[in-house]
Amino acid sequence: MSDQEYYTGIFILVFSVFIALTVFINGVLLKFVKTLGIREQSTTIIRWSPVSKPSLGGITFFLIFLLSISSFSFFFPGNIIFHDNHSLALIIICILGFLLGLGDDAYNTNPLLKLFVQTLCGVVLWLSGAGIKITPYEWLNITLTIIWVIGVMNSINMLDNMDGITASVSASIILSFILIQIVSDKIHLFDMFVLCAVLASVIGFLFHNWNPSRMFMGDTGSQFLGVFLAYYGIRYFWNGTDIQSSLIQSKQITLVLIGFMIPILDSSIVIINRLLRGQSPAVGGKDHTTHHLSYLGYSDSQVGFIFLGLSAFSTLLILVMVRLIDGWSHLYTIAFWCWFFVVFCVLFIITRKNKNYVSQGKQGQ
């Protein structure tokens, strides 16, 4: 058996086992844990779902992540992850993100504390050498890294507003990272192992989270996924090279815009609309792009499939950019950015036409 066949078999095995394990663990948690993420009645929270459900999904994400870390050396002897600063940074920031989300689900954490921890995650990435390196100016790279981490963690959290949306979008983004390694024939064993494991946990979670859901991921899940996606977004989009190992700034930024299109568009449109209404962007409500599609008459499941379709198409575009386009030019940049702005305009127009439906409240599922 060749090394490639062995690696492929391991990744398929890990993916299959962790999906089954996720479904099993979530089923057990649903039986014995009923209150995590369900705040006191005195706490004002506006949720899209009329029924309070436990926020357990993030716990399983983190458990599967830890299992993948601890079992990696068993499948790949001689590969010591703790000698790699980037891998250590990933572990540290994922622990920080998980603890931040767990605290918020349990106690409704102070926003300044959340911002501090998210900033700390960005600093950890920079100190480890895993930050954004798109410009020749170190101060600008540091600033971009911190803003990126904070932005992704909050946009994934904001996107968690309807059954199945955040999980399906996150799964598509993770799949992009996996496919980039495959089509460019630059497979990093640790990255592939962990990405397959977390993708499996997200897909397994969808078994209980697709509409009508039985559980939410909560901030525990969205903060963990946010920092996890932010790290790999830097690794394979911001700092990623094309198939000829060339570093092209316009292509890297385009990869970011297309790969993270849904979280970027949803959070941007929500912030713009709230500012136009004279509100603070931090004040949540039922005014997300997902909600406005529902106001048009689509069911929650249909909205989920719409966003899943957009995310899947983004993954396809990522493959086209990485594998099929050899020589990058400004025409490609314009074409892909036009697609981004077309989707933005369509969703923004929908939200403006439905503005009378918006009700105010605290951001939540």
Over 90: is that where the pLDDT of 181 sits? Answer: yes
pTM of the predicted model as reported, rounded to 2 decimal places? 0.91
Residue with tokens 């399906």: 168
Banded pLDDT at 49 (limits 50, 70, 90): low
The answer to whether the beta carbons of residues 152 and 230 sit under 8 Å apart is: yes
The stretch 288-297 carries a mean pLDDT of 90
Nearest Cα neighbor of 149 from 128, 110, 118 is: 118
Tokens of 145: 């890294």
DSSP β-bridge partners for residue 303: none
How high does pLDDT run on average in the chain?
A: 87
Using DSSP, state whether 17 is helix, strand or coil: helix
CA distance 266 to 125: 26
- The single-letter DSSP state of residue 323 is I
Nearest Cα neighbor of 176 from 318, 277, 326, 41 is: 318
Q: What's CA 157's distance to the chain center, in Å? A: 9
- Amino acid identity of 325? I
Banded pLDDT at 212 (limits 50, 70, 90): confident
Backbone conformation region of residue 84, classed left if phi is above 0, alpha if psi is from -120 to 50, else beta:
beta
Chain segment 298-343, per-residue pLDDT in tens? 999 999 999 999 999 999 999 999 988 878 889 999 999 999 999 9
**Where are the chain's structural domains?**
3-357
